[in-house]
Amino acid sequence: MAAILRISCAAVLLLCGVPPASAQSYPNRPVRVVVGFPAGGPTDAIARMVSQKLSDAFGQQFFVENVGGAGGNTAAGQVARATPDGYTIMAISTGFMVNPSLYARVPYDAVKDFAPVTLVAASPNVVVVNPLVPAKSLPELVQLIRDNPGKYSFAGPGVGSTPHLGGELFRLAFNLDLVHVPFTGAAPAVQATVGGHTPIAFTALPSSLSAIQSGQLRALGVAANERAGGIPDVPTFAEQGISDQEADTLTGIVAPAGTPKEIVDLLYRENAKAVGQPDLTERLAVLGFKAVADTPDEFAARIKQEMEKWGKVVHDAKLRIE
């Protein structure tokens, strides 16, 4: 009889829309924050910053676990299959949205398998050149490449990275004879351009910021709607008459699909509070990122928008990783 009464009460609570106890008491044990890349990169750094703030806010440890492999696909596949109880979440980059169109197979569905929590921060891509390259603006760079077919190439941190796709978007827009030279990461791509081995690079701002500020590289344009902190004198693409070239490196938080909405909303609110704190905002700025903290619905729309945009670039540039 007591068991029947307990079941009946639980059913009434569900029908009345009362959140389950697990959501009300969340979190009551440590939370795993999965990062699909080795330690040290921007996604990992931001995940650790936010995790510390969440640990302080909740009084429970949010700990980062690095699960590298296949451009983040391995980690995303694991998180997609994790129990949707809020105790496994994932810090993602733009690759999460690009990979479904780039790879022949991925072990997750970016829309169906996840509950977006928030876009934590964004950083624009920039076009940089070795100081010996005569172009001083993006229109001059376009003309230089057109006047010298077969001569120019651009460095990027790997096939399918946001900078690579930004470079392909630029190449396709102007029908340029411009070859992508992939490197194993952002640092070697930047160093190759500093050394003059590749005259041009498309990079995320964090990886090239110090080289720009020191004069080792010349920044020609910011692929965003507004100028970037750290290089306020560098104009945007739009300011130079070039439209529809925005390319951001994003860092956001997602949870497995089916995670209770109360937990997703709670994580969103605490993330928003965290990135709104001046110390974290400043630390993000040092990395070249701007705090965003949009809502779960806004982030869901952004994920679909990025998937559509970069999927078209992948298709038009005939890119594929088997």
DSSP characters over 113-143: TEEEEEEEEEEEEEEEE-TTS---SHHHHHH
CB under 8 Å to 24, separation ≥6 — which residues? 262
Question: What pLDDT score was predicted for residue 185?
Answer: 84
Whose structure tokens read 């100081």? Answer: 131
Distance CA 269, CA 263 (A): 10
Question: What pLDDT score was predicted for residue 5?
Answer: 43
Residue 287 one-letter amino acid: L
Question: What pLDDT score was predicted for residue 184?
Answer: 85
Q: Is the pTM of this model over 0.95?
A: no
* Mean pLDDT score across all residues of the chain: 92
pLDDT-derived band at 15 (thresholds 50, 70, 90) equals: very low
Phi and psi angles of residue 2, each rounded to the nearest 5 degrees, phi first: -65, -40
pLDDT over 90 at 258, yes or no: yes
Question: What pLDDT score was predicted for residue 38?
Answer: 87
Distance CA 76, CA 67 (A): 9
The mean pLDDT value for 67-79 works out to 94
Identify the residue with better confidence: 4 or 79.
Answer: 79
The mean pLDDT value for 224-238 works out to 93
Name the residue among 165, 173, 154, 168 with its Cα closest to residue 220. 154
pLDDT over 50 at 11, yes or no: no
Question: What pLDDT score was predicted for residue 40?
Answer: 85
Helix, strand, or coil (residue 171):
helix
Question: What pLDDT score was predicted for residue 186?
Answer: 87
Distance CA 124, CA 290 (A): 9
Question: What pLDDT score was predicted for residue 24?
Answer: 76
Identify the residue with better confidence: 290 or 15.
Answer: 290
pLDDT over 60 at 14, yes or no: no
Each residue of 98-125: pLDDT tens digit?
999 999 999 999 999 999 999 999 999 9
Q: Which domains does the chain have, with CATH numbers?
A: 27-123+249-316 (3.40.190.150), 124-240 (3.40.190.10)
Distance CA 279, CA 281 (A): 6
pLDDT-derived band at 22 (thresholds 50, 70, 90) equals: low
pLDDT over 70 at 311, yes or no: yes
